[in-house]
Amino acid sequence: MSLRPTLFLVAGAALVAGIGYVAGQSYGAGFLASKSSEVEAAIASADGGTVTARLINPLGSPTRHPVLENAGSLSEAKRARVAEAVAAVPGIGGVSWADGSATAQAGTLQYTPLHCQEDVEGLLRSRSIRFEEGSAALDPASRVLLDEVADALRPCLGSIIAITGHTDNTGPEPGNLALSQERARTVREGLVVRGIPRDGLRARGIGSQEPVEGLAPGDPANRRIEFSVIATEPLVPTPVDTPGAR
Protein backbone atom coordinates (compact mmCIF):
# COMPACT_ATOMS: atom_id res chain seq x y z
CA MET A 1 0.00 0.00 0.00
CA SER A 2 1.38 3.39 -0.99
CA LEU A 3 1.87 6.02 1.69
CA ARG A 4 1.51 8.85 -0.79
CA PRO A 5 -2.29 9.34 -0.44
CA THR A 6 -1.95 9.35 3.36
CA LEU A 7 0.82 11.95 3.20
CA PHE A 8 -1.33 14.14 0.98
CA LEU A 9 -4.21 13.86 3.45
CA VAL A 10 -2.01 14.81 6.41
CA ALA A 11 -0.51 17.73 4.52
CA GLY A 12 -3.97 18.90 3.50
CA ALA A 13 -5.25 18.75 7.07
CA ALA A 14 -2.24 20.75 8.29
CA LEU A 15 -2.82 23.35 5.58
CA VAL A 16 -6.50 23.73 6.51
CA ALA A 17 -5.59 24.07 10.21
CA GLY A 18 -2.99 26.71 9.37
CA ILE A 19 -5.41 28.69 7.25
CA GLY A 20 -8.00 28.49 10.06
CA TYR A 21 -5.49 29.76 12.61
CA VAL A 22 -4.41 32.70 10.45
CA ALA A 23 -8.03 33.56 9.67
CA GLY A 24 -8.91 33.37 13.37
CA GLN A 25 -6.08 35.71 14.31
CA SER A 26 -7.12 38.12 11.58
CA TYR A 27 -10.74 38.01 12.70
CA GLY A 28 -9.69 38.56 16.31
CA ALA A 29 -7.71 41.68 15.46
CA GLY A 30 -10.64 43.01 13.47
CA PHE A 31 -13.02 42.23 16.32
CA LEU A 32 -10.92 44.19 18.80
CA ALA A 33 -10.59 47.12 16.44
CA SER A 34 -14.34 47.30 15.84
CA LYS A 35 -15.58 46.63 19.39
CA SER A 36 -13.12 48.46 21.63
CA SER A 37 -14.45 51.91 20.76
CA GLU A 38 -18.07 50.73 21.11
CA VAL A 39 -17.38 49.28 24.54
CA GLU A 40 -15.61 52.48 25.63
CA ALA A 41 -18.59 54.51 24.46
CA ALA A 42 -20.97 52.24 26.37
CA ILE A 43 -18.96 52.71 29.57
CA ALA A 44 -18.99 56.48 29.08
CA SER A 45 -22.74 56.49 28.45
CA ALA A 46 -23.27 54.76 31.80
CA ASP A 47 -21.01 57.31 33.53
CA GLY A 48 -18.44 54.61 34.27
CA GLY A 49 -15.66 57.03 35.15
CA THR A 50 -12.29 55.25 35.10
CA VAL A 51 -13.71 51.81 34.22
CA THR A 52 -11.90 50.01 31.41
CA ALA A 53 -12.69 46.75 29.61
CA ARG A 54 -10.21 43.96 28.91
CA LEU A 55 -11.03 42.11 25.68
CA ILE A 56 -8.04 39.76 25.80
CA ASN A 57 -8.22 36.41 27.62
CA PRO A 58 -5.35 34.99 29.75
CA LEU A 59 -3.96 33.18 26.70
CA GLY A 60 -3.62 36.45 24.78
CA SER A 61 -6.49 35.85 22.37
CA PRO A 62 -9.36 38.29 21.69
CA THR A 63 -12.57 37.47 23.55
CA ARG A 64 -16.16 38.70 23.31
CA HIS A 65 -16.55 38.28 27.10
CA PRO A 66 -14.97 41.47 28.50
CA VAL A 67 -13.61 41.83 32.02
CA LEU A 68 -14.32 45.28 33.51
CA GLU A 69 -11.56 46.81 35.63
CA ASN A 70 -10.75 49.97 37.64
CA ALA A 71 -14.20 50.31 39.22
CA GLY A 72 -12.78 52.31 42.08
CA SER A 73 -15.52 53.37 44.49
CA LEU A 74 -18.46 52.88 42.12
CA SER A 75 -21.62 51.72 43.87
CA GLU A 76 -23.13 48.32 43.10
CA ALA A 77 -25.99 50.04 41.27
CA LYS A 78 -23.55 51.99 39.08
CA ARG A 79 -21.53 48.82 38.40
CA ALA A 80 -24.72 47.11 37.29
CA ARG A 81 -25.56 49.97 34.89
CA VAL A 82 -22.05 49.92 33.41
CA ALA A 83 -22.11 46.14 32.94
CA GLU A 84 -25.57 46.25 31.34
CA ALA A 85 -24.46 49.03 28.95
CA VAL A 86 -21.42 47.00 27.86
CA ALA A 87 -23.49 43.82 27.49
CA ALA A 88 -25.84 45.71 25.16
CA VAL A 89 -23.03 46.23 22.61
CA PRO A 90 -23.76 43.90 19.65
CA GLY A 91 -21.45 40.89 19.68
CA ILE A 92 -20.53 41.31 23.35
CA GLY A 93 -21.68 38.92 26.09
CA GLY A 94 -20.77 37.44 29.44
CA VAL A 95 -19.54 40.67 31.06
CA SER A 96 -17.83 40.34 34.45
CA TRP A 97 -15.79 42.43 36.88
CA ALA A 98 -12.12 41.77 37.58
CA ASP A 99 -12.75 41.77 41.34
CA GLY A 100 -15.41 39.08 40.99
CA SER A 101 -18.43 41.22 41.88
CA ALA A 102 -21.79 40.53 40.26
CA THR A 103 -22.37 42.09 36.87
CA ALA A 104 -26.02 43.06 37.16
CA GLN A 105 -27.02 42.62 40.76
CA ALA A 106 -27.71 45.64 42.95
CA GLY A 107 -29.57 46.33 46.15
CA THR A 108 -29.81 44.19 49.25
CA LEU A 109 -31.45 40.84 48.52
CA GLN A 110 -31.95 38.13 51.11
CA TYR A 111 -30.34 34.88 49.96
CA THR A 112 -31.36 31.37 50.96
CA PRO A 113 -29.32 28.28 49.93
CA LEU A 114 -31.31 25.82 47.80
CA HIS A 115 -31.26 22.02 47.53
CA CYS A 116 -29.70 22.18 44.06
CA GLN A 117 -26.41 23.18 45.63
CA GLU A 118 -26.36 19.92 47.60
CA ASP A 119 -27.15 18.00 44.41
CA VAL A 120 -24.26 19.65 42.56
CA GLU A 121 -21.87 19.16 45.46
CA GLY A 122 -22.81 15.48 45.44
CA LEU A 123 -21.82 15.25 41.78
CA LEU A 124 -18.51 16.99 42.45
CA ARG A 125 -17.66 15.02 45.59
CA SER A 126 -15.89 12.25 43.69
CA ARG A 127 -15.26 14.06 40.41
CA SER A 128 -14.21 17.58 39.49
CA ILE A 129 -14.51 19.89 36.53
CA ARG A 130 -11.05 19.86 34.98
CA PHE A 131 -9.33 21.92 32.32
CA GLU A 132 -6.42 21.41 30.01
CA GLU A 133 -3.20 22.41 31.78
CA GLY A 134 -2.70 26.19 31.82
CA SER A 135 -5.88 26.61 29.76
CA ALA A 136 -9.54 27.49 30.16
CA ALA A 137 -10.58 24.67 27.80
CA LEU A 138 -12.61 21.89 29.42
CA ASP A 139 -11.27 18.36 29.08
CA PRO A 140 -13.67 15.84 27.43
CA ALA A 141 -14.71 14.09 30.66
CA SER A 142 -15.63 17.42 32.24
CA ARG A 143 -18.00 18.21 29.38
CA VAL A 144 -20.00 15.13 30.35
CA LEU A 145 -19.90 16.15 34.02
CA LEU A 146 -21.12 19.63 33.09
CA ASP A 147 -24.16 17.99 31.41
CA GLU A 148 -24.98 16.41 34.78
CA VAL A 149 -24.40 19.68 36.66
CA ALA A 150 -26.80 21.50 34.31
CA ASP A 151 -29.46 18.81 34.92
CA ALA A 152 -29.00 19.19 38.69
CA LEU A 153 -29.35 22.99 38.47
CA ARG A 154 -32.42 22.97 36.24
CA PRO A 155 -35.00 22.53 39.07
CA CYS A 156 -33.68 25.75 40.64
CA LEU A 157 -33.98 28.02 37.60
CA GLY A 158 -34.89 31.53 38.71
CA SER A 159 -32.22 31.46 41.41
CA ILE A 160 -28.79 33.05 41.32
CA ILE A 161 -26.10 30.48 40.53
CA ALA A 162 -22.62 31.67 41.52
CA ILE A 163 -19.69 29.96 39.79
CA THR A 164 -16.30 30.44 41.47
CA GLY A 165 -13.01 29.42 39.92
CA HIS A 166 -9.98 28.47 42.07
CA THR A 167 -6.35 27.65 41.30
CA ASP A 168 -3.37 26.39 43.29
CA ASN A 169 -0.61 28.86 44.06
CA THR A 170 1.71 27.73 41.27
CA GLY A 171 2.91 30.76 39.31
CA PRO A 172 2.28 34.48 39.89
CA GLU A 173 -1.05 35.36 41.48
CA PRO A 174 -2.17 37.86 38.78
CA GLY A 175 -1.99 35.01 36.25
CA ASN A 176 -3.78 32.63 38.63
CA LEU A 177 -6.54 35.18 39.14
CA ALA A 178 -7.01 35.76 35.41
CA LEU A 179 -7.00 32.02 34.66
CA SER A 180 -9.54 31.25 37.41
CA GLN A 181 -11.83 33.98 36.07
CA GLU A 182 -11.59 32.65 32.52
CA ARG A 183 -12.32 29.11 33.69
CA ALA A 184 -15.37 30.26 35.66
CA ARG A 185 -16.62 32.05 32.54
CA THR A 186 -16.03 28.91 30.46
CA VAL A 187 -18.25 26.95 32.87
CA ARG A 188 -20.87 29.69 32.76
CA GLU A 189 -20.95 29.66 28.97
CA GLY A 190 -21.12 25.85 29.05
CA LEU A 191 -24.20 26.02 31.28
CA VAL A 192 -25.81 28.60 28.98
CA VAL A 193 -25.33 26.25 26.02
CA ARG A 194 -27.00 23.54 28.11
CA GLY A 195 -30.10 25.65 28.70
CA ILE A 196 -29.36 27.49 31.97
CA PRO A 197 -30.38 31.18 31.54
CA ARG A 198 -27.40 33.54 31.52
CA ASP A 199 -29.14 36.20 33.61
CA GLY A 200 -29.08 33.90 36.65
CA LEU A 201 -25.37 33.03 36.39
CA ARG A 202 -22.54 34.89 38.11
CA ALA A 203 -18.97 33.89 37.28
CA ARG A 204 -15.89 35.00 39.18
CA GLY A 205 -12.36 33.81 39.82
CA ILE A 206 -10.36 34.25 43.00
CA GLY A 207 -7.07 32.62 42.06
CA SER A 208 -5.37 30.77 44.93
CA GLN A 209 -6.86 32.84 47.76
CA GLU A 210 -9.06 30.04 49.18
CA PRO A 211 -7.34 26.62 49.09
CA VAL A 212 -9.31 23.54 50.13
CA GLU A 213 -9.24 23.16 53.91
CA GLY A 214 -6.48 20.77 54.91
CA LEU A 215 -4.58 20.99 51.61
CA ALA A 216 -1.31 22.77 50.92
CA PRO A 217 -1.79 25.86 48.69
CA GLY A 218 0.23 24.19 45.92
CA ASP A 219 -1.84 20.99 45.84
CA PRO A 220 -3.34 20.45 42.34
CA ALA A 221 -6.68 19.57 43.98
CA ASN A 222 -7.12 23.29 44.65
CA ARG A 223 -7.76 23.79 40.93
CA ARG A 224 -11.53 23.57 41.06
CA ILE A 225 -14.91 25.11 40.31
CA GLU A 226 -17.44 25.66 43.10
CA PHE A 227 -21.15 26.47 42.81
CA SER A 228 -23.46 28.39 45.15
CA VAL A 229 -27.18 28.29 44.43
CA ILE A 230 -29.09 31.05 46.20
CA ALA A 231 -32.77 31.94 46.08
CA THR A 232 -34.05 35.38 45.15
CA GLU A 233 -37.55 36.32 44.10
CA PRO A 234 -39.54 33.40 42.64
CA LEU A 235 -40.40 33.52 38.95
CA VAL A 236 -44.01 34.45 38.21
CA PRO A 237 -45.36 32.89 34.97
CA THR A 238 -46.79 35.30 32.42
CA PRO A 239 -49.24 34.56 29.59
CA VAL A 240 -46.24 34.22 27.30
CA ASP A 241 -44.64 31.63 29.61
CA THR A 242 -47.83 29.62 30.20
CA PRO A 243 -49.23 27.65 27.24
CA GLY A 244 -52.87 28.40 26.47
CA ALA A 245 -55.64 25.86 25.98
CA ARG A 246 -55.51 23.84 22.77
**Residue 193 confidence class, pLDDT cut points 50, 70, 90:** very high
Q: Are residues 55 and 158 in the same domain?
A: no
- Whether 7 is covered by a domain: the verdict is no
Confidence band, pLDDT 50/70/90 cuts, at residue 100? low
Mean pLDDT of 64-89: 80
Domain boundary among 68, 92, 107: 107
Do 103 and 128 lie in one domain? The reply is: no
51 within domain boundaries: yes
Arithmetic mean of pLDDT, 235-243: 39
- Is the domain of 80 the same as that of 189? no
**Residue 111's pLDDT is what?**
42
Predicted pLDDT of residue 190? 93
Interval 201-234: pLDDT, tens: 999 999 999 898 888 998 888 888 999 887 654 4
Both 190 and 136 in one domain: the answer is yes
Instruction: Dump pLDDT digits (tens) for 116-160.
Output: 888 888 888 888 888 877 788 888 888 899 999 999 998 888 888
What share of the chain in percent tops pLDDT 90? 15
> Is 16 within the bounds of a domain?
no
pLDDT band at 2 (very low <50, low <70, confident <90, very high): low
Please indicate, yes or no, whether residues 101 and 201 belong to a single structural domain of this protein.
Answer: no
**Within a domain: residue 239?**
no
Q: Tell me what the pLDDT averaged over the chain comes to.
A: 75
What contacts 24+ positions apart, CB below 8 Å, involve 132-140? 134/179, 135/59, 136/57, 136/58, 136/59, 136/179, 136/182, 136/183, 136/185, 136/186, 137/186, 138/186, 138/187, 138/190
**Contact in structure between 57 and 63 (CB atoms under 8 Å):** yes
What residues make up the domain containing 80? 37-107
Reported as a single tens digit per residue, the pLDDT across 37-74 is 888 888 888 888 888 988 876 556 777 778 888 877 77
Same domain, 117 and 227: yes
**Confidence at residue 65, expressed as pLDDT on a 0 to 100 scale:** 75
| Whether 165 contacts 181, CB under 8 Å | yes
Q: Could you tell me if residue 30 is inside a domain?
A: no
Domain boundary among 80, 107, 134: 107
**Statement to judge: residues 81 and 96 lie in one domain:** yes
State the pLDDT at residue 75: 77
State whether 225 and 117 are in the same domain.
yes
Assess if residue 242 is contained within a domain. Answer: no
Coil, strand or helix at 9: helix
User: Model confidence at 101, in pLDDT bands (50, 70, 90)?
Assistant: low
Asked if the structure places residue 78 within a domain, the reply is yes
Q: Which residue has the higher pLDDT, 6 or 116?
A: 116
Q: Are residues 129 and 193 in the same domain?
A: yes
Strands 62-69 and 96-97: parallel
Report yes or no on 87 lying in a domain: yes
Q: Which of 7-11, 16-20, 104-108 has the lowest mean pLDDT?
A: 104-108
The whole-number average pLDDT for the span 181-191 is 93
CATH number of the domain where residue 224 is located: 3.30.1330.60
Q: How far apart are CA 163 and CA 109, in angstroms?
A: 18
| pLDDT for the residue numbered 244 | 34
Of 50, 78, 107, at which residue does a domain stop?
107
* Structural contact between residues 158 and 200, judged by C-beta atoms closer than 8 angstroms: yes
Residues 179 and 103 in one domain: no
Q: Looking at the structure, tell me whether residues 51 and 101 fall in a common domain.
A: yes
What residues pair up with 228 in beta bridges, in sequence order?
Answer: 162
Counting the structural domains of the chain, the total is 2
Same domain, residue pair 123 and 172: yes
pLDDT above 60 for 236: no
pLDDT at site 9? 54
